Structure 1
Amino acid sequence: MKIGFGERPALLVIDVINAFTNPQLMLGANLDDEIEAMKPLLDAAHASDLPVIFSTVIYDDADLKDAGIWAFKQKGVVTLRGDSDNVKVDPRLDFRKTDSLLVKKYASCFFGTDLVARLVSQRIDTLILVGCTTSGCVRASAVDAVQNGFRPMVVREAVGDRSAAAHEQSLFDLNAKYADVVSLAETLDYLASFTSHSPS
């Protein structure tokens, strides 16, 4: 069964930062195709003045205390220090001053952040999810989205993972239980309805 798109969407660009898009780094992968798929979604959201929220992961404590227990499990968090270019949005994406930047410490964009308040204040009912990684932060954010009463729409072509197997399994599981896994084409068609209503 599908949840379906709602009436007031926001685009959530999850962790498309240099630490995750540079294959030479510990947490990185080649996400060239996924980034290309994100570009028309950003263009459509910007054209209609829809909310666009980028997320990043930043640790400021010198000893990574603000990474908590996760630092024991995931050694790659050392690449996410706040004074590094690794935590900046990949420059291939059109990150505008009118967009929001959400700083988080853990997988979900909802955990320990003010995301719910931001969305509720704008009466958002639909979250279009793109970014990385499918099996990590995208999955965690989609599950939390539906648990908080939002419609999570995961755009298949615009999410990526270091593991192809984990990517496919996560998309299957999300679509079965927590979200709608939607195509780039149908998402752009949905966003086009807002563009047609926006002032020229």
Structure 2
Amino acid sequence: MRNCPLLVVDVQTGLVKEHPYNEEVVISNIKALISLARNSNIEVLYVRHDDGVGEELEYGTDGWQIYHEVAPNNGERIFEKHYNSVFFKTDLKEYLETQKIDTIILAGLQTEYCIDATLKSAFDHGYKVIIPEQTNSTFDNEYLSGEKLYEFYHYKIWNNRFANVLPMDKVRTMMIEN
């Protein structure tokens, strides 16, 4: 798993302060994965979304910052994006190719937007994607609760189609045994 980075997408202050579904568990699990990755010499890659001037995730604002509990260490790579998928108009794909990476562990916000778009783009580019359970989240909307969106994407859309959705314990074991 050394050549299988942890990709932490859009865990930014502006989103976390709005309290997504299962927030405490998700942040705790992402923190645990980051710590385990660092201790296992697995690269942690970050993604930060810029929604533009006047928006909650505007470049340089407090809301745009990566949430302090999961913040990168000095030298950890951050990919800046303006679209749902981190593969669109960024150099992530080129970076992964130079590192000979074929598998990604994916976590972050929001399930039905940036996680879904990034996962499907990764799949389209031939990457294997691992989604640890309870490491991404979203918000209630007028149609579905955050919980229902989470369950729908994980178990109806993604698992065994675009990704492998795995329990945290299994992902931890895979990372340790790298």
Tell me if TM exceeds 0.5: yes
- Shift in Å, 1:10: 0.5
Offset from partner CA, 1:50-103 (integer Å, 9 cap, x none): 22111111145x4x7xxxxxxxxxxxxx11111311111110114111311111
Separation in structure 1 between the aligned mates of residue 65 and residue 71 of structure 2, nearest angstrom: 13
Separation in structure 1 between the aligned mates of residue 147 and residue 51 of structure 2, nearest angstrom: 28
Separation in structure 2 between the aligned mates of residue 83 and residue 124 of structure 1, nearest angstrom: 30
**SS of equivalent to 1:154:** strand
- Name the residue aligned to 1:16: 11
Say which of 13, 23, 38 aligns to 1:46. Answer: 38
Instruction: Give runs of ≥4 in structure 1 deviating > 2 Å.
Output: none
- Name the residue aligned to 2:47: 55
The structure number with the bigger radius of gyration is 1
Say which of 154, 163, 167 aligns to 2:150. Answer: 167
Separation in structure 1 between the aligned mates of residue 164 and residue 112 of structure 2, nearest angstrom: 15
Separation in structure 1 between the aligned mates of residue 68 and residue 176 of structure 2, nearest angstrom: 25
Separation in structure 2 between the aligned mates of residue 184 and residue 48 of structure 1, nearest angstrom: 16
Flag structure 1 segments of 5+ consecutive residues without an equivalent: 1-5, 65-77, 195-200
- Name the residue aligned to 2:133: 156
Separation in structure 2 between the aligned mates of residue 39 and residue 80 of structure 1, nearest angstrom: 21
Q: Which amino acid aligns with 1:188?
A: R
Separation in structure 1 between the aligned mates of residue 46 and residue 7 of structure 2, nearest angstrom: 6
Say if 1:42 and 1:94, in contact at 8 Å, map to a contact too: no
Say if 1:9 and 1:128, in contact at 8 Å, map to a contact too: yes
TM-score, length-scaled by structure 2:
0.89
Flag structure 2 segments of 5+ consecutive residues without an equivalent: 140-145
Separation in structure 1 between the aligned mates of residue 71 and residue 64 of structure 2, nearest angstrom: 16
- Shift in Å, 1:8: 2.3
Change (3 A) 1:95 1:150: same
Change (3 A) 1:18 1:7: closer
Alignment of 1:105 with 2:82, yes or no, is yes
Say if 1:156 and 1:183, in contact at 8 Å, map to a contact too: yes
**SS of equivalent to 2:66:** coil
Say if 1:39 and 1:94, in contact at 8 Å, map to a contact too: no
Say which of 15, 19, 24 aligns to 1:32. Answer: 24
Separation in structure 1 between the aligned mates of residue 111 and residue 160 of structure 2, nearest angstrom: 15
Separation in structure 2 between the aligned mates of residue 22 and residue 160 of structure 1, nearest angstrom: 13
**SS of equivalent to 1:9:** coil
Q: Which amino acid aligns with 1:50?
A: I
1:179-194 correspondence runs (5 A): 179-194=163-178
Change (3 A) 1:102 1:137: same
- Shift in Å, 1:176: 4.1
Aligned alpha-carbon RMSD (Å): 1.6
